Amino acid sequence: MTTSMPATPFTDPAPAQRLERAATALTAHGFTVEILDDAAAARTRVKELIPEGASVFTGASETLRLSGIEEDINAGGRYQAIKPRVLAMDRVTGADDIRRLLAGPDVIVGSVAAVTETGSLVVASGSGSQLPGYAGGAARAIWIVGAQKVVPDLDTALRRVEDHCLPLESARTREAYGWPSAVNRLLILNGEHQAGRGTVLLLREAIGF
């Protein structure tokens, strides 16, 4: 006789002990981790972490949008914001320049689909535009992660991507663009070899997908 396991409530914020386990594991893998109360605290911290005048690319993220961080970076005038610049460029004649701008900013800011208690970050993407910067192209990377994204292990993280994030993102892209999203590219960051490059701001509250 087998007993079916209940579905993981991917919208529930992880309790403090699970956040601490994830933070400890990520730190052991070379990431800089800060546990913050909420998105407002993360918004303030991001301003402190990024020097004025830096070139900054924001990966597509409901967390950034809902927290106000996306607007701070792309419309605040404090940084050399890459996303507005790219959106104003011709996608055909400027393709090479767009690719280079996205791949190597001073700082890339975004979120992830899941963070494991074993110390990995999991990023799912349809276009892959943010992945080069996350993987190492950007001089610094900052991820803001809601507490509901903390999962026990990589298997659960991948299930969260398919069962939770993808349906929500597809609903968003259908409304915005008229077509569903897809997990065309998947990046798993198991460690950061360069001290201080990758910062995870782990929140005690749930935000984003």
Residue 95: helix, strand or coil by DSSP?
A: helix
Cα 63 to chain centroid distance, Å, stands at 8
User: From residue 72, how far is each of 34, 37, 108 by CA, in Å?
Assistant: 20, 19, 14
pLDDT at residue 196, rounded to an integer: 95
Give per-residue pLDDT as tens, 151-208: 999 999 999 999 999 999 999 999 988 999 999 999 999 999 999 999 999 999 999 9
Give DSSP secondary structure letters for 2-45. Answer: --PPPPP-TTSPPPHHHHHHHHHHHHHTT-EEEEESSHHHHHHH
Distance CA 57, CA 82 (A): 5
Question: What is the tens place of the pLDDT at every residue in 112-165?
Answer: 999 999 999 999 999 999 999 999 999 999 999 999 999 999 999 999 999 999
pTM: 0.94
Stretch 91-102: mean pLDDT, rounded? 93
Q: How confident is the model at residue 9 (pLDDT cuts 50, 70, 90)?
A: confident
Q: Which residue has the higher pLDDT, 208 or 5?
A: 208
Instruction: Give the pLDDT score at 8.
Output: 57
pLDDT tens, 10-51? Answer: 999 999 999 999 999 999 999 999 999 999 999 999 999 999
